[in-house]
A and B are shown apart, each in its own frame.
Chain A
Amino acid sequence: MNDTHQAWAFAQVDAFLDRCRPLTPWGRDEREARTVLDDPVELESRFDDTACVLRFLTEQAEDGIRLDKLAWHLKRMPRLPLASKDEYEIIELFQVKKFLANYRGAASCLDPELSERFGLSPDFSSLGADGPACATLAAELDRGGSDMETFYLADSYDPELGELRAALNRADAALRADREAYERSAEADHDLSFDGREFVVAPVDIARPLAAEPARYSLEPYDESRYVVRLLPSARALSLLEERERLGQRERELENRVIRRLSAMAAAALPGLKAAVTAITRLDRARTAAVLARDASLRRPVIDAVDSSMKEARFVPCEEECRSLGLAYTPLTASFQSGAIVLFGSNMGGKTVVLKTVLFFQLLAQAGYFVPAKEYRTRVYRGVEYVGEQSGERLAGLSGFGFEIHRFEKVWRGTEDVLVAFDELARTTSSHEAEALLSAIVEAYATGRIAGGQSSGPSRAFFATHFRGIARIPGAEYLRMRGLDRSAALECLDADTPLSERLAGINRHMRYEIVPDDPTDDAESDALAIAAMLGLDPRLTMKARRYLAGTGARP
């Protein structure tokens, strides 16, 4: 799939998918990658996955604990090393153990259908021939650690290690006892309490007598009236420290031997670990999509339709914005058959929102998500593109027109079988030339004569435009936004109505519906009515109407 970044941003897909919460690191990677797929088989499989988890969520809704537990295990999945090594770091062995523990935990939360579908089983049997190596590794790593996730190089990994650590612990205990005896002696003989401190700052009158015992106390001046006093280790303690040092070196050798052995086991289990990560990623992806589908009332899209249609399709970012402004939102119901769909409409009539809705639905579907509509039928395109200006975006050195042509050229020369939306193409140039250019591009898409290589299917282009003078090409569809119900809108406004109410009035009486465009219809433009409703001087509006009528032109 080509870079869909422009279309993705224009259609505000992130604004909707921000509510997605993948729980594993790999799920978050996928979410960040914004991958759009063009393989129908892969997409259908993802929809099946989502449907399967959605069924599970519904069935388990009353047993929240099981769902919480599944989420808990997924959330705790760490990244783990998936490259073969002779010797892993101890921290990497920990990651493998933690992953395996949570893999088993997650798998144990699933019902048989989910286990089967995603290839997840607590005993690793679903990994087939790679399962036993993972099971053996998990059992071995389980020997090190005080719970299912934590890890250390336990005594039990090597008989000599256990004996050696016992000796180390004895040395530590003897050192502590030695120190405590010295501390007690300092307190009894000199009224000097160390209380577990490595040193104390003692007044001169307490510190000076200690100088008589140089083998036991170390003194250094702190300031004019105080000394820093340290307890020196006894001869026995020095011997113990040496012994501890020697034991520590041997412990390190034995630990390295254990690490090498565990590393070999991890390397042998690597194919199984990779398969397990793939299965977990798939489950996380499906769970994320299913939770979104459940919470946002989404439906599975149909992706093998020739024509495209949508029933009560909600462009959620716009729906939410309308809600925050207290405005009504009208879901879109429409169908499209042609390779070129031209959409007319006045300002504020909703043309751009229709383009966004079309791309939003297509991108969601091809990213593997269910969609917010009663029904959405489409097919899979090899590319989803947008040609138009993004807010605040400019290409250095190019005018607005140059920028559009630059972007269109990239789409035109790129992949065929593309769904592309043009928003007000050539709006910054003269209307005469713009209409000529638009006509040529509409014709190219309507007749399927597109530049580039072999096509796996015809492209489909949507054009939102004000230019009503573009040619009526056979095979192209010409639609318009129904627009403003002027009489109803004007009735409810008077001269003193504040601007916010006027805007709300326009919104209330704007009919966000798509209807076939009649080229012979010369009814007045909504633009002048909207300008009047927004408070434009009536004398100017009247003059504009006279000009409009005098030229016979349509705005």
Chain B
Amino acid sequence: MLDSPDDYPGLVTFVTGPGKHCGKTTFMVRALELARRGLATRGETSGRAVGPAVLTVGYDGEARDWLSGARKPSIPVRPGDVFVTAERFLRSGGTCPEILDVVPGTTALGRLCIARATRDGTVALVGPEGNAAVAWTLDRLTEPCTGGGPTAGAILVDGAINRVTQAASWPGARMVYVMRVDRAGFERSVDLALRMGLLASLPVYTEPDSPGDRATAGTATGAAAGDKGATTGDRAEIEINAGDRPLSIDGVLTAETAARLPPRAAVIVVDDMTKVFLDWRELRAFIGARRLLVRRSIEFAGIVASCRGVSDAEFLSRLDGAPGLDGRVACNPYEAAA
């Protein structure tokens, strides 16, 4: 899973994880290399080479590190790779960049541009912050360039979980959750993984077509939360009983909002999985009592877990049969074959 050159071309892969230092950048470097190989193979077949693109979204802690002068991890790029960075870092990585476009607006780090490396080098990624700028950038990266193909043949986006909605709702986008697992935080890591799988498998609520259908409260497509082995790829149509009028929540579902829900509200609908702010135990308890649906699903590519002081087998055994995780957990991409 996510370890083959064929896993990336034609897709927007949103890479997120639980906070800083969870291994996102390290994973991105590997994913970029694989995407590059996949696109090179396709280019040889089609006769038209196009590189991958890499960017970040949001004003995250790493951008603040730049403002404070702290070092930010840089990404090695090769000729043909496309990246988004701030004007001030454009020429600093030795990539001899060709500017493809300027992102409208400005950020805390100044103007941003989309550039293509013409030589080996490193880049400091600085991404657009607002929804409109993110949409514009993704649109621009998938827009046809001279020669007819898209500007970038695969797009990797690094971003905090609260930005998932922005990028992962893009057509052809999916999300990867990257995490580090160690002995001290083992149980918490297991909970995080189980929670992600469950959230990713929440059924999708579909509005009834006509006012007359409203009484039947619509349908939901997806695996029933709690069903073992359910995945986003094998959603089933679930009938919602006429008496279970869905209650939509605007904004986020927290433990506090959950406590205030009417006891008779059996079906709760949120915008998407990122609007659920319940930890694993709260989420499990919530789903034990009610049905939780999302209006919009986010394609979940899986979890990439780097285990340290814990064997991969031990971690994987705890996730065995968990909703949404079947075949969707990969281990450290830097692991040498034993």
Chain A positions within 8 Å of B, measured between CB atoms, are 78, 89-91, 94-95, 98, 145-153, 165, 168-169, 172, 175-176, 192-193, 196-203, 206, 222-225, 229, 244, 248, 251-252, 255
- Which residue of the partner chain, among A89, A153, A202, A222, contacts B308 with CB atoms under 8 Å? A222
Any chain A CB within 8 A of the CB of B70? no
How many residues on chain B are close to A (CB under 8 Å)? 34
CA distance in complex: A91, B116 (Å): 13
- Which residue of the partner chain, among B91, B99, B309, B337, contacts A151 with CB atoms under 8 Å? B99
Question: Does A229 contact B145, Cβ atoms closer than 8 Å?
Answer: no
- Which residue of the partner chain, among B30, B94, B97, B338, contacts A197 with CB atoms under 8 Å? B30
A91-B102, A193-B336, A198-B29 provided; 13 other pairs, C-beta below 8 A? A89-B87, A91-B90, A145-B98, A149-B100, A152-B98, A153-B96, A165-B96, A172-B119, A197-B333, A200-B334, A202-B336, A206-B336, A248-B94
- Which residue of the partner chain, among A147, A192, A224, A225, contacts B145 with CB atoms under 8 Å? A147
- Interfacial chain B residues near A244, Cβ < 8 Å: 94
- Interfacial chain B residues near A193, Cβ < 8 Å: 336-337
Question: Does A94 contact B336, Cβ atoms closer than 8 Å?
Answer: no
CA distance in complex: A248, B97 (Å): 13
Contacts A91-B90, A223-B309: A199 and B99 contacting too (C-beta < 8 A)? no
Question: Does B91 contact A172, Cβ atoms closer than 8 Å?
Answer: no
- Interfacial chain A residues near B166, Cβ < 8 Å: none
Question: Does A146 contact B90, Cβ atoms closer than 8 Å?
Answer: no
Any chain A CB within 8 A of the CB of B111? yes
Question: Does B336 contact A192, Cβ atoms closer than 8 Å?
Answer: yes
Max chain A C-beta neighbours (<10 A), residue from B94, B99, B310:
B99
- Quick one: CB contact mask for B266-283 with A, threshold 8 Å, 1 for yes? 000000000000000000
Question: Does B99 contact A152, Cβ atoms closer than 8 Å?
Answer: yes
- Interfacial chain A residues near B99, Cβ < 8 Å: 90-91, 94, 150-152
Contacts A165-B96, A200-B335: A90 and B91 contacting too (C-beta < 8 A)? yes
CA distance in complex: A192, B120 (Å): 25
Any chain A CB within 8 A of the CB of B189? no
- 8 tightest Cβ-Cβ pairs between the two chains A and B: A152-B98, A147-B146, A200-B336, A94-B99, A202-B336, A223-B309, A172-B120, A203-B338
- Interfacial chain A residues near B97, Cβ < 8 Å: 152
The distance from the CB of A145 to the nearest CB of chain B, in whole angstroms, is 6
The distance from the CB of A262 to the nearest CB of chain B, in whole angstroms, is 13
CA distance in complex: A90, B334 (Å): 37
Question: Does A150 contact B113, Cβ atoms closer than 8 Å?
Answer: no
- Interfacial chain A residues near B94, Cβ < 8 Å: 244, 248
- Which residue of the partner chain, among A91, A222, A229, A255, contacts B111 with CB atoms under 8 Å? A91
Any chain A CB within 8 A of the CB of B142? no
- Quick one: CB contact mask for B86-111 with A, threshold 8 Å, 1 for yes? 01001100101111111000000001
Contacts A172-B120, A199-B334, A203-B336: A94 and B309 contacting too (C-beta < 8 A)? no
Q: Name the CB-closest residue of B to A202.
A: B336
Any chain A CB within 8 A of the CB of B129? no
Any chain A CB within 8 A of the CB of B118? yes
CA distance in complex: A86, B236 (Å): 65
Question: Does A196 contact B33, Cβ atoms closer than 8 Å?
Answer: yes
Q: Name the CB-closest residue of B to A145.
A: B98
Question: Does B102 contact A169, Cβ atoms closer than 8 Å?
Answer: no
Any chain A CB within 8 A of the CB of B216? no
The distance from the CB of A491 to the nearest CB of chain B, in whole angstroms, is 33
The distance from the CB of B97 to the nearest CB of chain A, in whole angstroms, is 6
CA distance in complex: A149, B33 (Å): 28
CA distance in complex: A90, B333 (Å): 37
Question: Does A94 contact B102, Cβ atoms closer than 8 Å?
Answer: yes
CA distance in complex: A198, B27 (Å): 12
- Interfacial chain B residues near A91, Cβ < 8 Å: 87, 90, 99, 102, 111, 113
CA distance in complex: A149, B144 (Å): 13
CA distance in complex: A244, B98 (Å): 20
- Interfacial chain A residues near B336, Cβ < 8 Å: 192-193, 200-203, 206, 229
Any chain A CB within 8 A of the CB of B332? yes
CA distance in complex: A248, B93 (Å): 10
- Interfacial chain B residues near A206, Cβ < 8 Å: 336, 338
The distance from the CB of A248 to the nearest CB of chain B, in whole angstroms, is 5
CA distance in complex: A172, B79 (Å): 11
Question: Does B119 contact A169, Cβ atoms closer than 8 Å?
Answer: yes
- Interfacial chain B residues near A197, Cβ < 8 Å: 30, 33, 333-334
- Interfacial chain A residues near B100, Cβ < 8 Å: 149-150
- Interfacial chain B residues near A150, Cβ < 8 Å: 98-100, 116
- Quick one: CB contact mask for B305-338 with A, threshold 8 Å, 1 for yes? 0001111000000000000000000001111111
- Interfacial chain A residues near B309, Cβ < 8 Å: 223-224
CA distance in complex: A89, B110 (Å): 12
Q: Name the CB-closest residue of B to A89.
A: B87
- Which residue of the partner chain, among A199, A223, A225, A255, contacts B91 with CB atoms under 8 Å? A255
- Which residue of the partner chain, among B118, B334, B335, contacts A152 with CB atoms under 8 Å? B118
CA distance in complex: A78, B91 (Å): 21
CA distance in complex: A222, B335 (Å): 11
